[in-house]
Structure 1
Amino acid sequence: MTSRPGPSTIEEVAQRAGVSRSTVSRVLNGVATVDPKMRRAVDDAVRATGYVPNLAARSLVTRRTNSVALVISEPASGIAGAEFLQRIFSDPYFGRVTAGAQHVLRATGVHLVVVPADREAHDFVLSYLRQGHVDGVLFLAGGDEHGLPHALYEMNVPVVLSHRPSAALPVSWVDADQTIGGRLAAEHLGRLGRRRAVVLAGPPELAAARERLAGFRAAAEGLGIAVAVVHGDYSARSGTAGGRRILAEHPTADAVFAANDLVAEAVVRVLVDAGRHVPADVAVVGFDDSTTARDAVPALTTIRQPVEDMAGEMARLLLDRIRTPDQPARGVMFAPTLVVRETA
């Protein structure tokens, strides 16, 4: 039997490319000042030899894992375990966040690890992050519940939040102006002549839910629109329950502003099943502009958050923080827009 040859080495790559070992290292580490001809020669040699960098050894030198965590926390919903995981993987919002972050991270060779952080997993998540498995955290939640963002800051873990911190927490963040989103929904319904609206709001302990409701109420008051509020969460189940409450408690409502598109789609189904015409009898506006909004029948009028762009900006801010830990925290605010389809 012939012995199988061992893996190629960096010296073999250097010899084949006709450059020094240090030049190969600089190319593999993405140093921008390497001469383009040398870079191409090294790339060709890597492909020809089948060389695979020893990432474990490299991490001992750079103290980098080339991985970041997307921590998804929704403690306000009160769900945990399998139900929490089902919520994450069924809500198109989380898929959009992952896609937007991946688009930026993959271009830099950084891996994304999704870490669910329900109530039951709080200590596990902190332990995992404390052990240095990732270089930083994209923290996705509507508020500072559980104190996780503060704990990460105290641990000196680079972190970027998907919301503007409610307290004086000096970490970078990305958000959409939720107040403007609520205002856009009210103004659109006002232009349609609607005067009796029900807001199926998200959990009041979440900043985004409070801000959307405040923006809607402020604009509705100026337009002479009466507003009733029903609090729930961001699930289709909550939308079904909210729709039934509208029929029972607010039968003359002619407009609904829903917490998100999943809620809006469920409300439309309840109203239509009860014999209401959408939008002739009741106009419905969702929030997010997810695939749910586009695929629903009828297609949902909604407030668009540029979620993929927001997640990509989060990734860029985190990479900057990892490279330059001492830079000041930054906040980036995106503007939502109205997307008119068939329900309003």
Structure 2
Amino acid sequence: MTPDGPPTLDDVARAAGVSRSTASRAINGGLRVSPEAQAAVDDAVARLGYSPNRAARSLVTRRTDSIALVMPEPDERIFTDPFLAATLRGVSAGLAGTDLQLVLLLARPGERPGHMARYLGSGHVDGVIVTSHHRGDRLEPELAGGPLPAVFVGRPFEDDGLRWVDVDNVDGGRLATRRLLERGCRRIATITGPLDMTSGVDRLSGWRAEMRAAGLPDDAVVEGDFTIAGGTEATQRLLDEHPDVDAIFAASDLMAEGALRALAARGLSVPGDVAVVGFDDLGVAASTTPRLTTLRNPAVEMVNAATSTLLALLAGEDVSPEPQVFEVELVEGASA
């Protein structure tokens, strides 16, 4: 602090014995600055307690020092969906120790397709992590091949050179169905996730592949929305349309909890009358009665990988374009 207030760039330049422009370049990246001048400016900054103006710095570096976490979902989902909540916490924790600020972008009712993509392409952030994306968001085609570093948590519909991390959702669907087959169930239904999301498509594909391999019908399918209410409604439809169902694979634990509620309302026991398997193991499964058998979704590991990849891209490192796919794990409960 100088007698007249916080130190200015001119104060730093005088203390370092360099020009104002040299001091600015040294503070904002060291371009075309000699090692001696850089050291003098660094020392002056430390002695004076100078804090650079972030707005002025961005004009020099073309950096905003912020990244976006894009969740194209209504804001109430952030507080009720354990996967989205875990993603938000994980990205925030992954930025600890950096100067990067986190900008959270959520869907708004009636938002025009492509609105988020246009915002991201306007230079407001240095990079982006996208999760829970839908086909109609137009995020994939807008980000593919563009200058903005981007990492998707969840397989994109079209690869197009996009970097992404995900769990093996197809194998998860197969493992869940195989567990129900091993129990002796033969009329196994599924409540899918939204089919405009690759997680919904892939978990359905795994269920269908295992059912066909067992020579069993695969017609008992209802699309859900990854919510408890959606799981309850979907189960009611399944029981009305397929009263002989003896097992349900729900593509999320929230929907599986909804299924348990609908089955109890019909006077059906779990797993005696209908066995149930969920997907996620992010806290919901441990609180249901009976405790859900589920598939572990390694959300923390995926988010860590996505954040590390984005930071490496921002640092200019050579990052492999190959996707990072994590294995799924069956977690035994009492519902199957």
Normalising by structure 2, report the TM-score: 0.81
Q: Does 1:202 align with 2:201?
A: no
Deviation per residue, 1:285-336 (Å, 9 max, x gap): 1111122222223322111111111111111111222222886633111111
Per the alignment, residue 90 of structure 1 pairs with 80
* 1:123 to partner: Cα distance: 4.7
2:151 corresponds in structure 1 to: 160
332-341 or 215-224, larger mean C-alpha shift: 215-224
1:261 shift after superposition: 1.0
> Which region of structure 1 is more displaced relative to structure 2, 49-58 or 255-264?
49-58
Q: Does 2:79 correspond to 1:66?
A: no
SS in structure 1 at match of 2:143: helix
RMSD: 3.5
By how many angstroms is 1:276 displaced? 1.3
Whole-angstrom CA distance in 2 between matches of 1:295 and 1:87: 19
Counterpart residue type for residue 174 of structure 2: R
Instruction: Tell whether 2:104 aligns with 1:104.
Output: no
Residue pair 2:27, 2:52 contacting (<8 A) in 1 also: no
For residue 100 of structure 1, report the CA deviation from its aligned partner.
Answer: 1.7
Once residues 129 and 178 of structure 2 are traced to their aligned partners in structure 1, the CA distance between those partners, rounded to angstroms, is 33
Shift in Å at residue 57 of structure 1? 2.8
Which residue in 2 is equivalent to 1:133? 124
Q: Normalised by the size of structure 1, how large is the TM-score?
A: 0.80
- Structure-to-structure mapping, 1:8-27, within 5 angstroms: 8=7
Structure 2 counterpart of 1:111, one-letter code: Q
Change (3 A) 1:144 1:328: farther
Distance 1:330 1:237 in 2: 37
Contact persistence 1:233–1:259 (CA under 8 A)? no
2:237 matches 1:248: no
Q: CA deviation at 1:154?
A: 5.4
Q: Which amino acid aligns with 2:161?
A: P
Q: CA offsets, 1:177-212, max 9 Å, x none?
A: 111000110111122222211101123333221211
**Would you tell me which structure has more helix in proportion to its own residues?**
1
Please, which of 313, 322, 329 is the counterpart of residue 314 of structure 2? 322
Between stretches 211-220 and 262-271, larger displacement belongs to 211-220
- The aligned residue for residue 78 of structure 1 is none
State the shift of 1:167 in Å: 2.4
Contact 1:101–1:308, Cα closer than 8 Å, also in 2 = no
Instruction: Return the alpha-carbon distance in structure 1 between the equivalents of residues 26 and 247 of structure 2.
Output: 61
Structure 1 position 15, deviation (Å): 12
User: C-alpha separation between the residues in 2 aligned to 1:125 and 1:243?
Assistant: 34
Q: Is residue 175 of structure 1 aligned with residue 166 of structure 2?
A: yes
1:125-168 CA distance string (max 9 Å, x none): 23432331110111113554332222123542211122333324
**Residue of structure 2 aligned with 1:283, choices 262, 271, 275:** 275
Which of 99, 115, 134 is residue 105 of structure 2 equivalent to?
115
State the 1:264 CA deviation.
0.5
Displacement of 1:51 after TM fit?
Answer: 5.0
Distance across 1 between alignment mates of 2:208 and 2:56: 57
In structure 1, how many angstroms separate the alpha carbons of the residues matched to 2:271 and 2:215?
20
Matching of residue 268 in structure 1 with residue 260 in structure 2 = yes
Q: How many residues are matched?
A: 319
Separation of aligned partners in 1, 2:320 and 2:302? 19
Instruction: Report the Cα distance in structure 2 between the residues aligned to 1:291 and 1:4, rounded to whole angstroms.
Output: 56
Q: In 1, are the aligned partners of 2:193 and 2:224 still within 8 Å (CA)?
A: yes
Which segments of 5 or more consecutive residues in structure 2 lack a partner in the other structure?
16-21, 30-34
SS in 1 for 2:284: helix
Cα distance in 1 between the residues matched to 2:145 and 2:64: 20
Q: Distance in 2 between matches of 1:124 and 1:302?
A: 36
Runs of 4+, deviation exceeding 4 Å:
8-16, 25-29, 48-51, 325-328
Tell me the percent identity.
38
Q: Deviations over 1:25-66 (max 9, x none)?
A: 98997xxxx9xxx9xx98xx96x9765443223323322222
* Partner of residue 305, structure 1: 297
Three-state SS of the structure 2 residue aligned to 1:194 is: coil
Shift of 1:117: 3.5
